[in-house]
Every structure is written in C-alpha cells, then in structure tokens.
Amino acid sequence: MFKLNKMTDYAVVMMADMARMTDDMRTAPQLAEATGVPLPTVSKLLKNLANAGLMQSQRGASGGYSLSRAPEDISVAEIIAAVEGPIALTACVDGSPDQCGVETICAMRGNWDKVNRAVRGALEQVTLADMMVSAFEFGIPAPAERAGAAS
C-alpha cells in the first residue's frame, strides 16, 4: 500500500492538465471532460483545492477555476494536503486524542513525527511542473536529493 487515494490522483491529474493553460479559466464540466473523471467528483475536488488556496474560483456565470500559482511553485505535498488533509502517517504524532491504540506501552510516542517530516519534505521537493517535464527528457537518474530526514 502506501498508495494515496484515487481522489488525490485525480487532483494531481486535473491540476497537471490545467497547468498547461494557466491563462484560461476552466469550468468543472470542462475539466471533467478533459480528465475523464466523473463531474460530481471533479466538482468536489475543485472545491477542496480552491479552499486550500491552490486554485482561484470565480463564482457567477462564465466563472470557473484557475491555478493561483505557477506549476513549479505547487508541490504535490500541497495537493495531497488539500485533498487528504495534513500529511501524517500515523495517528500518534504529537497530541492527538486517540492514538494508535497501543500508546500506553509504546516507547516511541513522538518519533513518528520524524518519519512524517521526512516524507513531507520529500513530497515538497516534487512540484507540479516536475510531473510534466520528464515526459520529454526522461533521463532521471536521481530525482530527489535525499530530501527530508532533516531530523
């Protein structure tokens, strides 16, 4: 596992599709058509992304959505956080009310946070723009310079 929800996958696909025409303002039905994702689902995703500040929405007639940042300025970490909530691999990060259930005898209560930070750091290195470039150059030997793990 460790695979993210289909929702997040859709979100990234949608934003990548949108990154190619930043000027344009796309509507939800347009995006649904372009990505093949069912319209209601697209709508829900767009809303979340807009709430997270990754998208700008224009309400009235002839409204729509547009990216609020440049593709290379949007990390997948942000997208994931927008759709799935904060990036936390486990429940026992800092002071959550209900931990993982075994916290009574767990010797490493706060240490999961270390892992979380490592993953988050890695995810922040990959941007939307990164998701499209290599389709052309495709010579990626080492994608991440050992991101994260900064204690």
Residues that bind ligand FES (CB under 6 A): 9, 13, 90, 92, 99-100, 102-103, 106, 108-109, 112
Residue type, 144: A
Terminal CA-to-CA distance of the chain, rounded, Å? 25
Q: Mark out the alpha helices in 20-137 (DSSP H runs).
A: 28-35, 39-51, 76-84, 112-125, 130-133
Residue 42 is a binding residue for a copy of itself (CB under 8 A): no
94: how many CB neighbours lie within 10 A of its CB?
A: 10
> CB of residue 141 vs DNA: minimum separation in angstroms?
27
Q: Which residues bind a copy of itself (CB under 8 A)?
A: 1-6, 9-10, 13, 16-17, 20, 34-37, 76, 80, 84-85, 87-92, 95, 97-112, 114-115, 117-119, 121-123, 125-126, 130-132, 134-135, 138, 140, 143-144, 146-150
